[in-house]
Amino acid sequence: MITAEFLHYRNLKIDSLSIKPGITTVIGPNGSGKTTFLKLCAGIIAPESGTIMIDNLPPRETEIGWVNEFPDRNILFMNVFDEIASPLRFRFFPCDEIDQDVRTCSEALGITSLLKRSFRDLSGGEKVLVSLAAALVHNPGVLILDEYDSHLDERSLTKIEQGIMMSGARYVIRSTQQMDTAIRSDHLLFFDSGLITLSGTPDYVFPFLKDTAYYPALWEC
């Protein structure tokens, strides 16, 4: 269980929250606290007050994979193979094991053909796929994705959704502006002005958003 108690960071305030294993999607207006919440879950920033725990451990003591909306800002190496391999190299894995794990992860995401290419030469969708591979290659228990789908075509999005489903991560926490993506979740959190105003399954949350921009187009049909 992921739990937050009296969590406070700038405009974000969460008195109490519990997240069960599965896919949790965070939605809401820009500036509502979504990215701040994801960064707190990932341990990228620390709370000003309160706590957030992942299976009774703080985020910085948990294996977490992180994918940013803009992968160019987070890359460490220009070569695709080196970028995917970096989490394993930093853990001093043997070279042959690194090579096998990178290729296995790349095959699962359908990006083996990219391994020898430069990151800067990839399309937006390919960059997100490479970033996802780097996040998944060390088999994290938690996968966190911040509006990863904002610049993707349908083909790339399908590959990434498949990668998320096969990741084996106990918790997937993601933010998106695509409500048809948010449908495919176990749990939704709707943020507004730093507060969680709605929480529950898609079937519970979306009826409250019927006349807003946050109602799935697929449900309109």
Q: What is the pLDDT of residue 221?
A: 61
Question: Alpha-carbon distance 107 to 188, whole Å?
Answer: 31
pLDDT band at 109 (very low <50, low <70, confident <90, very high): confident
Whether the per-residue pLDDT at 204 is higher than 80: the answer is: yes
pTM for this entry: 0.91
When mean pLDDT is compared across 95-109, 111-125, 150-164, 202-216, the lowest value belongs to 150-164
Sheet holding 12-19, edge to edge: 12-19, 2-9, 49-54
Residue pair 12/161 in contact by the 8 Å Cβ criterion: no
**CATH code linked to domain 2-201:** 3.40.50.300
For the chain, which residues make up each domain, given as ranges? 2-201
Q: What is the pLDDT of residue 167?
A: 79
